[in-house]
Amino acid sequence: MRVSKTIRACALAGGLLSTACTEGPPGSVVDPYLEALEADYIIFGLTDYLTRRGVREAIVEADTALVFQDSTVVLLRGNVRLTAFDEELGTEKAIVTSDRGRLDTKTNALFAEGNSVLLIRADGRRIESYELRYTPDDNSIRSDSSVVMYEGTDVVEGTSFTSDLDFERLVIRNARTRGGAVRF
């Protein structure tokens, strides 16, 4: 009786082993959306320090970055954030946040898209738009979409805006106010 139990146990183990060997490799654990992307590299949790002539100009962060070898453009997805710095003082000058963006690694320009918000650190002004274009080579930030600027309890709406990166020459086109006068 003992011999037959041992033989049965060996036969069962052999059957399981042969079944395991005939099955194919396990399926992919990669999200099908990511598998379909044409990117050469995918970076999760990107933090990129943008410099010009060795001086930190900004930091760009995103949940996901899609990098292409044949392009200077990096596509950013999820919680995109650019923190711009005063190059002389090293202090935060402004913060841009959005849902997604495109970073040109050659010029450090960022096109922020989807729920874009610009927070000006010096005075607390906040500008909201669908998209924002940060272009350090032109010393400008702008939006060609409708904008809303909040300054304390005052609100200014317009069809677009442009500003230098020191926020001294901020212009909102076709501006109309809600809640009083706004200092420019």
pLDDT of residue 59: 95
The answer to whether position 128 is within a domain reads yes
Report yes or no on 129 lying in a domain.
yes
Residue 146, domain member (yes or no): yes
Domain that holds residue 73: 34-178
- 63 located within any domain: yes
Phi/psi of residue 116, each to 5°? -80, 135
Cα–Cα distance, 158 to 93 (Å, whole number): 23
For residues 155 and 5, the model is more confident at: 155
DSSP 3-state helix, strand, coil percentages of the chain (rounded to 5)? 15, 55, 30
Tell me the percentage of the chain whose pLDDT exceeds 90: 57
The reported pLDDT for the residue numbered 126 is 96
CB–CB of 127/99 below 8 Å? no
In the structure, what pLDDT confidence band is assigned to residue 182 with cuts at 50, 70 and 90? Answer: low
**22 part of a folded domain:** no
Judged by DSSP in three states, 87 sits in coil
Q: Which residue has the tokens 């410099």?
A: 51
Residue 110: left (phi > 0), alpha (psi -120 to 50), or beta? beta
Q: Are 72 and 105 in contact (CB under 8 A)?
A: yes
Q: How many distinct structural domains can be found in the chain? A: 1
For residue 77, the domain's CATH number is 2.60.450.10
Q: Would you say residue 4 lies in a domain?
A: no
**In a domain? residue 89:** yes
| pLDDT band, very low/low/confident/very high, at 39 (cuts 50, 70, 90) | confident
pLDDT, position 14: 57
Mean pLDDT computed over every residue of the chain: 84
> For residue 164, what pLDDT is reported?
93
Q: What's the pLDDT at 144?
A: 96
23 occurs within a structural domain: no
- Name the pTM for this structure: 0.76
Beta carbons within 10 angstroms of residue 9's beta carbon: 10
